[in-house]
Amino acid sequence: MRLDKLHFLLALGTLLAVALPATVWTRASATRLTESLSKASDVATASAANEGYCSGNLKQILRRVLTSCGLIQGGGSRGCQPLQARQVAAMSGGDFNSLFAPLAERAAIIQFDLDKADLDPPAMELLEKTFADQRGASFFLVVSRASPEGSVEHNRELSHHRGDAVLEHIKGKFNDPELEQEVGLLWLGEEFAQLDQDFCKWRRSRTEGACTTADLNRSAFIAWIDCRL
């Protein structure tokens, strides 16, 4: 067997034609890898929602309300009574209610019968639907009220029972291990921040018949708050 130089030249040329690109491509990747390791990742990190309406003022009020109502610090007592709520909110009832205006899409009004604190089926359905729509919200606010009929003390108690009814239903239905850290409860009786006629446009558990302010205030206002405090 005699092999000429052409054979070896061809073999060598072929080898170079294969080896050189493979080497160049591999080295280029190594260079890019070195460069990429020094760059910070631009992928967002998962976090709770913090919507545009979470102004500094709203957060401050919420923090005061939630702290004073035993939510954030996890105190033994749960809920704020009317006087406490008025003090921590440090604002008029109208201003207090207007804080929740941006929450129209996230809130609902659970309505009760006169002098009752029992949830009817539409109320349960709306409550479950609203609570299940948590999305990225960190806090669920329950603000229960009573219409002016009856004594102030009785209405205070009545609104307290209404708030509790909402809370108990959520507890029983959803078995949420973080419920204690999520739900803020205020019962206002008839004394503070009564809902006005504008709230008739909000989602309510009773949509049939006339909507009076008395109907509106025999209620528990519920809303997820998409703010990080």
Partner 1 sequence: MRGWPAVLWCRIVNRQAFAQKEYGAAGVPRAALVSFAIFALLGVVFAAVSTYDFVAHLDRQVHAITCSIVPGLGPRDASGTSGCHVVLMSPYSSVFRSLTWGGIPIALPALGVFAFLFFRGVDLSLRRGVRRGETSFLIVAALLPVATSAVYLWISEVELGTVCTVCAGIYAASLGVLVTAIWAHLGASPTAAGTDSNAGQWLLYFLEGCALVLIPVMLYMVQKPPYPDALTGKNELRHPEDRYGVMLKSKSTGSVPAIEVLDPLCPACKAFSHRLAASDLGRDLALQTVLFPLDKDCNWMVNESLHPGSCAVSEAVLCAGEKSGVVLEWAFAHQPELLAAGGHGQAEVYARLKQDFPALAPCLAQPLVRTRLNRSLRWVVSNSLPVLTPQLFVRNHKIPDEDTDLGLDFVLARTLENSTGARGEVRP
By beta-carbon proximity to partner 1, the closer residue of 40 and 210 is: 40
By beta-carbon proximity to partner 1, the closer residue of 21 and 94 is: 21
User: What is the DSSP-derived secondary structure letter of residue 221?
Assistant: E
- CB of residue 96 vs partner 1: minimum separation in angstroms? 26
Q: Which residues contact 117 (CB under 8 A, 6 or more apart)?
A: 158, 161, 162, 164, 165
**Binding residues with partner 1: total (CB under 8 A):** 50
- CB of residue 213 vs partner 1: minimum separation in angstroms? 30
- CB of residue 26 vs partner 1: minimum separation in angstroms? 4
Structure tokens at 154: 């009785």
By beta-carbon proximity to partner 1, the closer residue of 10 and 214 is: 10
- CB of residue 166 vs partner 1: minimum separation in angstroms? 14
x/- track of binding to partner 1 for residues 166-185 (CB under 8 A) = -------xx-xxx-------
x/- track of binding to partner 1 for residues 119-138 (CB under 8 A) = ---------xx-xxxxxx--
Piece in contact with partner 1 (CB under 8 A), picked from 8-16, 57-65, 73-81, 205-213: 8-16
Whether the CB-CB separation of 164 and 68 falls below 8 Å is answered with no
Q: Is 27 exposed, middle or buried (0-12, 13-18, 19+ CB in 10 A)?
A: exposed
Kindly compute the dihedral angle of the four CA atoms of residues 69, 54, 173, 195, in this order, to the nearest 10 degrees: 70
Q: Residue 46 and residue 54: Cα distance in Å, rounded? A: 18
Restricting to residues 16-55, name those near partner 1 by CB under 8 A: 17-19, 21-23, 25-30, 32-34, 36-37, 41, 43-49
Q: Residue 65 and residue 58: Cα distance in Å, rounded? A: 10
Structure tokens at 175: 């078995």
User: What is the DSSP-derived secondary structure letter of residue 203?
Assistant: -
* 3-state SS track over 98-149: HCCHHHCCCEEEEECCCCCCCCCHHHHHHHHHHHHCCCCCCEEEEEECCCCC
Q: Is 214 in the site for partner 1 (CB under 8 A)?
A: no
By beta-carbon proximity to partner 1, the closer residue of 182 and 215 is: 182
- CB of residue 136 vs partner 1: minimum separation in angstroms? 4
Query: What residue ranges bind partner 1 (CB under 8 A)?
Result: 1-3, 5-7, 9-11, 14-15, 17-19, 21-23, 25-30, 32-34, 36-37, 41, 43-49, 128-129, 131-136, 173-174, 176-178, 226
